[in-house]
Amino acid sequence: MKTALICGISGQDGALLAHLLLRKGYRVVGGARDAQVASFANLRRLGILDRVTTLSLSLTDFRSVIQALIKVRPDEIYNLSGQTSVGLSFEQPVETLESISIATLNLLESIRIISQDVRLYNASSSECFGNSGSHPADENKLFHPRSPYGVAKAAAHWQVANYREAYNLFCCSGILFNHESPLRPERFVTRKIISAVANIARGSTEALELGNLDVIRDWGWAPEYVEAMWLMLQQEQAEDYVICTGRSVSLKEFVKLSFAAAGLDWEAHIRVNNEFYRASDIAESRGAPTKALHQLGWKANVEVEGVIQRMLLAEQGVDLEQVLWG
């Protein structure tokens, strides 16, 4: 039985990955800053909390990381922790850098010191690329991040590449584009939109306030993306991969599709609020998942319409397991 340590198990990706690995017969250990008081709400929602071993782990504390690796002795480590909001990173740039970049460095150095047999997956991000324009970004595109979050992810990405080349560690980064599910917190714009649509469909008179509707993103289905994470660690060689659907639409189109799915006119319920505009933002984000298809055999099957449909079903009370994997 393989042992997987998931750093950031309480988040959307961590919980979905834990579910996947348990189905594959792994012993799953999940780290949280204070496991004794953490709610692990997503693990509870998936009905797997009692099948996961949890431990207190602070990735910004080198001693804590070393102790965890000695105790758990994982075969695979999935680094999904850190501050996850691009918008919040403008307000908390230091916390964002420390929780992503310093945390990743602590993991890499701990692995180097204790054991080189561990395989590490690092959650990189399409935010590293910045504006892609009309040309989809692949693994060779230069980084030009436009947020503190993107800067932190880019630093962590190159740390992983450096340790792979300098110390021959099996460590890789998944450059994931936006991926959603009902496990997303409502502060994320997609969940905010879907929740508002569901409320309005039930008779609410609320107005949905959003920022720049012209930004273009590639939105995929998170349960499919965690499969790609696992596949990266099953390869003979550690490499980095872009993970996305290959299709991007504007936020305005996402809003239109969401309201249309509930039989509503989006223009009657939307209000643009300049307070939600970011200091600097990515106008257009497009990705090319060709390498993942050819080398991992991975392809996104759910595109933006399917993401919206599934998230609306969850808001309407349809069984979560059916929504996620049905």
Three-state SS letters, 121-175: EEEEEHHHCCCCCCCCECCCCCCCCCCHHHHHHHHHHHHHHHHHHHHCCEEEEEE
Amino acid identity, position 110: S
Q: Which of 174, 196, 177 is nearest to 187 (CA)?
A: 196
Q: Which residues of the chain have pLDDT under 70?
A: 116
Extract the tokens encoding 101: 């970049």
Q: What is the pLDDT of residue 29?
A: 98
Q: Which stretches of the chain are DSSP H helices?
A: 12-23, 41-45, 62-72, 86-91, 93-97, 103-114, 148-167, 189-201, 222-232, 251-261, 290-291, 304-315, 320-325
Q: What does each C-alpha distance from 36 to 54, 56, 63, 69, 137 come to in angstroms?
A: 9, 7, 19, 19, 41
Q: What is the pLDDT of residue 133?
A: 87
Q: What is the pLDDT of residue 124?
A: 97
Q: What does each C-alpha distance from 34 to 4, 38, 77 come to in angstroms?
A: 19, 6, 19
Q: What is the pLDDT of residues 149-175, one digit of tens each?
A: 999 999 999 999 999 999 999 999 999
Bridge partners of residue 273, in order along the sequence: none
Q: What is the pLDDT of residue 285?
A: 96
Q: What is the pLDDT of residue 164?
A: 97
* DSSP label at residue 287: B
Catalytic residues: 125, 127, 149
Q: What does each C-alpha distance from 71 to 29, 62, 117, 179, 323 come to in angstroms?
A: 11, 14, 15, 32, 36
Amino acid identity, position 88: L
Q: What domains, with CATH codes, occur in the chain?
A: 3-179+221-243 (3.40.50.720), 181-217+248-285+302-325 (3.90.25.10)
Q: What is the pLDDT of residues 280-294, one digit of tens each?
A: 889 999 999 999 999
3-state DSSP call for residue 237?
A: coil
Contact 49, 79 (CB under 8 A): no
Q: What is the pLDDT of residue 227?
A: 98
